[in-house]
Structure 1
Amino acid sequence: MKKIKAVNGLNVYLIGVLAILVVISAPWLDQTVSNHSFVKSYFAGIGTGILMLITLWKKPELSTITLHISWVKSSWLVLFLLGTISIFWSVNVDFTITKWMIWFTVFCAFVVGYNLKFDQETLTKICWGLVIAAFMIAAIGVFQYWFDFSAVTQAKAPASTFGNKNMATQPIVLIWPLALFLFFSKKITRPQTWLLSIMMLLIMVFIVYTRTRASWVSIIGEAALIAVFLLLKRKTLSDFISWNADKTKAVLLALALFAVLINFGEDGWTWVWSSVEDKFTGDNSVTESRQVRFRIWDVAIEMIKASPLFGTGLGSWFHNEVQGGFGTYNINSYQRAHNDFLELGVELGITGMTLLVFAVGTLNVAIRKIFKNDDKDNALFYFLLWVALSGSFVQMQMSFPYQLAIPAMLLGFYIGFIAKRSEKFIQPIKLLNLKTKKILHQTNKTFWLIMIIVISVIYMDWINTYSTLNYLNKKQKIHLLKQATPRFFHHLELQKILGVFGTTYYKIAEPYKSIAIEKLILSYWPHDNTSLNRYMHILMKNKRYDEALKVIKTFKKVSYRGLYSAHFNELQLYLNTKQTEKYKQAFVELLNQDDSALSLNKNTYAALLQYSLHNKDLYKYTEQIYQKHSKNNRYNCLVENSMVLYYNFKKQYKKAKQHIDIINKSSDSKCLDSALSTSVLKALKAQKP
């Protein structure tokens, strides 16, 4: 047999370097078209691809290779292949390609993680690189929180380089437990102990500052698992961790500073407990945020019911919601399902969900075997890896970590670590010894090289698209927007960005630019209710009624359940153009819609009530509409004022006064027409004998 020259593997520091690069990557320059998740996706996608190529090129070209077929690798590979072939039944191939490239990042990271050399030095280097990346997320975020730093755009501070504070916490949930592997190590030096404690301090302070329930619940759960472990292993704790006076001092100082810093923000000293209490029990958080989540999940469940076996393809949630008819009046522009498990069900059906549950089960079995049989240092690392994944899987029930590049990349690395180490302790399903030739090794490397080049070209096309959008927006050349169309595949987030454009120009009332944007959006998604709504209002505001009516007719046909904006604008158009008969016909048509759909939005019957007052022939419906509104909704000042107006028209002043009294007794009486009220009271007084 030909002697194989020893080849060093991948430099493990590159994993940390890549993690740090992805963390700091953001739209620092193109701020008018801010798409943080996309920037991170191409850094992670191309970066892990390059690391995989380095890994493959550094592997020795053996004449015989052994394939170790295990449940961990097989289950995750089958799930990946199912996602790949879903392109054949996908409702939107472009979006499937976009999502698949995130999944390919997981695959590349897995290959890299699986082929690493597993010893204490390697694990330590990996942990330091990842913890530094998490620290950089936190440091930038804390700086934003304290000093209102805005070099990179953010939806709501502190979002670090992610544009969204919820997204910023997702990698931290996956990384921070590994900091304890370093802290508990026998080999950590005194300066490293103090440095690590400061880094962990800022990471936890940032988590508190973000005020995100999903990350709080996940991290508290992770901390609880670690505490239970320490309690159960208290008699043999010295086998797993090393402790000294420096670590005690560092922890005590960090806890003291933590207690101070969490109460300190941009407005000075603010008692943190009040915001924590409000976040979990306050009316705003409970009645709005949670209810929105439940509504989104209801829509996701309806999508799963419609395609239960294999779903509608990777990346299809957003398309189904906007274009597929599953949106509702209040759930119509959410890019993600805010529950990765349900979103997987939408994409790959019950089959995909079952495969994921099985794959997660194989990870649990593998980690248990490693923990029971490996040396104590390795056992601690894999236990903390299990804690990190457990916390992230809890978070994915309330959020969307695995729709994004960094958590996906970390998941790939972690699965690779677990799959490789578990092979030492778990019997394979099958061992295959395959004889190979040099040409096969070269073909394999060439194939993956071409694959990475193709993916990089697609990413570069998308980069050019967003860069062009940014340029056209800066130069106010919106009429040239078609130049920003991707050459190959429509990026999943492009419609959302164009929608932001549309909203911006709609608000500043620039009709020609707004119309150009809406036409571009609708050329890809003809049923996009949000875009149709803006387009319709632009035409109405500019009195282009013939064009507006055409849009309204289309809009009515594709309106989401409970959304009647097109119907009300049709009524307004007929009012403006004084087409009385058409107005009455359109009103009756709307009133005869399914009551369960009309009742979904509390404003529908309120608006119908006001429109009934524009024509005397429609007065006969007013009281009926009021009863339906009152049955499903609480007090509404405008509704009560409309009833005052109605009874004043009918000269039923006693009933008008009853509604005036309802308004006056309420805490919201600003809408009451004082002149109308005075007129009613005078008329009522004049009627008395």
Structure 2
Amino acid sequence: MTILKKTPVIIFLYTVFLAPLVWFPGLSDFSNLPQRIFLETLGILLCFSWLTTQATDNGLPFHRFPFFTWPLLGFLGWAMFTGVYALNPYETWEIGRQWLAALLFFLLASQLMISSARRRQVLIALFTAAFLVAMLGISQHLFGLSWIPQLAPPAANFANKNMAVHFIVLLFPVGTFLFLTAKKDTTAAWATSLMLSQIVVYLIYTQTRAGWLAVTCQCLLFVVLRKTTRLNLSLLWSRQKKWAMLTSLLVVLTMMNIGPAGFIPGYEAVGLRAASIASIQGNHVRFAIWTDTITLIQQHPLLGVGLGNLKVHFPSVQKESLFLYDQYLKDVHNDYLQIWAELGLVGLTLFIFFIGSLGVFLFRTHKECTGHLAKTLELQAMGLSLAGIGINALFCFPLERMIPVFTIMVLLGLLASLAR
């Protein structure tokens, strides 16, 4: 491969690695805004670079896109169209431009990452970025690192710990895949295992229940998939990997009992926090917000209020949450309700159609991967990543943030490449 042809691939890998680590001091939105601008700029640059490379070969051949691409484009197209009747079209553009920027990386990933080796490089770049985010968050929690502003610590460079957890949830299954498929007796297996342990430790330190639930479901789904597909993981196992996993488990069990003040038993606190997931009292604010959102949906059932415009209309329906949530509400903390409220039944139907077509794609591709252990695990890892963020979206708003949407689109592009 010539240098010219390598350039888009190299830029893509650096972009994937650096984007989650971007922040800019001195801004009111010092996390999401710089990340969005970084990805918009690099996305456009990458497109021109790739098109230039293709033009030198006297043609612009596109690799086949999977069938879930078309409902995805339909959903995004409708979301942008809602700006026509939205009270504040600027808000539509603010969210829509994030989705469109991320869409560029779906297209680029599906066209550039055409081999298993390239896909693995992308996954390693993303996982390494997640590890660095986790290490930054751990340093903030244990040592009071304060040179990056935080609204809800330990937030790493994401301003809010819940926003950082979106990214962590997406990369936890990827780290597991990289560990399982690492060569048996190499330092890569040890390094990946220890990196994964720090991601788990950071997840524990955040005390984010939605993240805990998502990762727990990912683990359970992996066990179910292993049993139903009868994966023979012993082919990938070794004594070195066993010791690496046991060492990492010991690291997690030790660090979960360490806090800013030193050694403090943390098992009970973790247990109580986990138990509160099912507590009505612990989630009453969200329930009140959801109730008021349903009222808004009833007022605008078919077309919705326009992408990004829930915040404009919400004060007019706020009743149940009026005395429980005294801040200016921007997000419902449930992306599915927010999609219904902003894009109406039309948008929700298109979104369900996209999710359904993606599910069919994953099922068919999984059947085609039978007999290819590494490829099956790669597919399962990316599928579990998407399932995890889907569960997280029940209680938070990853689709409103740049990095989760970007990561989702990159994974979708890699899935398109894997299926060829």
Give the structure-1-normalised TM-score: 0.57
The aligned runs of 1:35-74 (5 Å cut-off) are 35-60=30-55, 68=64, 70-74=66-70
Of residues 257, 261, 273, the one that matches 1:263 is: 257
The answer for the alignment partner of 1:439 in structure 2 is none
Shift of 1:250: 0.6
Deviation at 1:223, TM superposition (A): 1.1
- The equivalent position to 1:416 in structure 2, one of 408, 413, 418, is 413
Distance 1:171 1:83 in 2: 23
Q: How has the CA–CA distance of structure 1 residues 115 and 9 changed in structure 2, closer, same or farther, with 3 Å as cutoff?
A: farther
Residue 237 of structure 2 is aligned to residue 243 of structure 1:
yes
- Choose which of 298, 304, 310 in structure 2 pairs with 1:311: 304
Higher relative contact order (CA 8 A, sep 6+): 2
- Alpha-carbon separation, structure 1, partners of 2:274 and 2:238: 38
Cα 1:172/1:305, change in 2 over 3 Å:
same
Q: Deviations over 1:624-679 (max 9, x none)?
A: xxxxxxxxxxxxxxxxxxxxxxxxxxxxxxxxxxxxxxxxxxxxxxxxxxxxxxxx
> Where in structure 1 are there 5+ consecutive unaligned residues?
425-689
CA distance in 1, matches of 2:385, 2:46: 23
The 8 Å contact of residues 8 and 46 in structure 2, kept in 1 or not, is answered as no
Instruction: Find the counterpart in structure 2 of residue 277 from structure 1.
Output: 271
Quickly say closer, same or farther: Cα 1:62–1:211, change in 2 above 3 A: same
With 203-212 and 291-300 compared, the bigger mean Cα shift is at: 291-300
Q: Does 1:338 align with 2:329?
A: no
Q: Tell me, in whole angstroms, the C-alpha distance in 2 between the residues paired with 1:251 and 1:103.
A: 37
2:26 paired residue number: 30
TM-score by length of 2: 0.91
Deviation sequence 1:169-205 (CA, Å, 0-9, x none): 1011111211122212254761211111111111000
Alpha-carbon contact 1:147-1:266 (below 8 Å) kept: yes
Q: May I ask how many residue pairs the two structures share in their alignment?
A: 412
2:143 aligned with 1:147: yes
Structure 1 residues 271, 104: CA separation in 2 closer, same or farther (over 3 Å shift)? same
Q: CA deviation at 1:62?
A: 5.2
Question: What CA distance in whole angstroms lies between the structure 2 residues aligned with 1:187 and 1:273?
Answer: 34
Residue of structure 2 equivalent to 1:358: 353
CA contact (8 A) 1:23 1:136 kept: no
Any conservation in 2 of the 1:366–1:419 contact (CA below 8 Å)? Answer: no
Q: Structure 1 residues 405, 66: closer, same or farther in 2, change over 3 A?
A: closer
Instruction: Measure how far apart 1:77 and its partner are.
Output: 0.8
Instruction: Give the residue type in structure 1 aligned to 2:145.
Output: F
Equivalent position amino acid for 1:51 in 2: L
What corresponds to 1:17 in structure 2? 14
Report the alpha carbon displacement of residue 11 of structure 1 after superposing the two structures with TM. Answer: 4.4
- Any unmatched runs of 5+ in structure 2? none
Shift in Å at residue 420 of structure 1? 4.1
Match of 2:248 in 1: 254
Structure 1 letter corresponding to 2:360: V
Rounded Cα–Cα distance in structure 2 between residues aligned with 1:201 and 1:252: 10
Aligned to 1:326: 317
Given residue 327 of structure 1, which amino acid in structure 2 is its aligned partner? Answer: Q
Output aligned runs, 1:589-628, within 5 Å: none
Measured in 2, the distance between the counterparts of 1:287 and 1:230 equals: 34
Distance 2:45 2:227 in 1: 43
Residue identity matched to 2:190 = W
Describe how 1:489-504 pairs up with structure 2 within 5 A: none
1:127 Cα deviation from its structure 2 partner? 1.4
C-alpha separation between the residues in 1 aligned to 2:63 and 2:123?
28
CA distance in 1, matches of 2:304, 2:203: 35
Q: Per-residue displacement from partner, 1:507-531 (whole Å, max 9, x unpaired)?
A: xxxxxxxxxxxxxxxxxxxxxxxxx
Letter of the structure 1 residue corresponding to residue 337 of structure 2? L
Q: What per-residue deviation string (whole Å, max 9, x for no partner) do you get for residues 397-431 of structure 1?
A: 11111110011101111222223443x4xxxxxxx
Assess if the C-alpha contact under 8 Å between 2:36 and 2:402 holds in 1. yes
Matched, 1:393 2:387: no
Structure 1 position 190 matched with structure 2 position 186: yes
The aligned residue for residue 72 of structure 2 is: 76
| Match 2:218 to one of 219, 222, 245 | 222
* 1:379 equivalent in structure 2: 376
- Displacement after TM superposition at 1:286 (Å): 4.3
Cα distance, 1:385 vs. partner?
0.6
1:167 to 163, 166, 188: 163
CA 1:383/1:101 → structure 2, altered by over 3 Å: closer, same or farther? same
- How far did residue 107 of structure 1 move? 1.2
User: Deviation of residue 63 (structure 1)?
Assistant: 5.7
Q: 1:35 to 1:69 in 2, by over 3 A?
A: closer
> For residues 276-300 of structure 1, what are the alpha-carbon distances to aligned partners after superposition, in whole Å with 9 as ceiling and x for unaligned?
23324469x9466511111111122
- Separation (CA, whole Å) in 2 of partners of 1:45 and 1:91: 26
In 2, Cα distance between the equivalents of 1:66 and 1:410? 22
Matching residue within 292, 304, 308 for 1:299 = 292
What's the Cα RMSD here?
2.5
Partner Cα separation in structure 1 for residue 60 and residue 196 of structure 2: 46
Q: Which has the larger radius of gyration?
A: 1
- State the shift of 1:40 in Å: 2.0
Are the aligned partners of 2:155 and 2:164 in contact in 1 as well (CA < 8 Å)? yes
Tell me how far 1:206 sits from its aligned partner: 0.1
Query: What one-letter code is carried by the residue in structure 2 that aligns with 1:160?
Result: A
2:130/2:171 contact within 8 Å kept: yes
1:85 pairs with 2:87: no
Distance 1:165 1:95 in 2: 24
What is the match of residue 114 of structure 2? Answer: 118
Q: Distance in 1 between the 2:60 and 2:142 partners?
A: 59
Alignment counterpart, residue 105 of structure 1, candidates 94, 101, 108: 101
Structure-2 separation of matches of 1:12 and 1:370: 25
1:347 matched to 2:338? no
2:280 and 2:355 map into 1 onto residues whose CA distance is: 33
Matched position secondary structure for 2:69: helix
Deviation per CA, 1:201-226: give whole Å up to 9, x if none.
11000000000000000001111112
Cα distance in structure 2, aligned partners of 1:202 and 1:51 = 32
Query: Contact conserved, 1:10 with 1:116, CA < 8 A, in 2?
Result: no
Secondary structure at 1:38's aligned position in 2?
A: helix
- What is the Cα deviation at residue 108 of structure 1? 0.8
* Identical columns (%): 24
Deviation at 1:15, TM superposition (A): 3.6
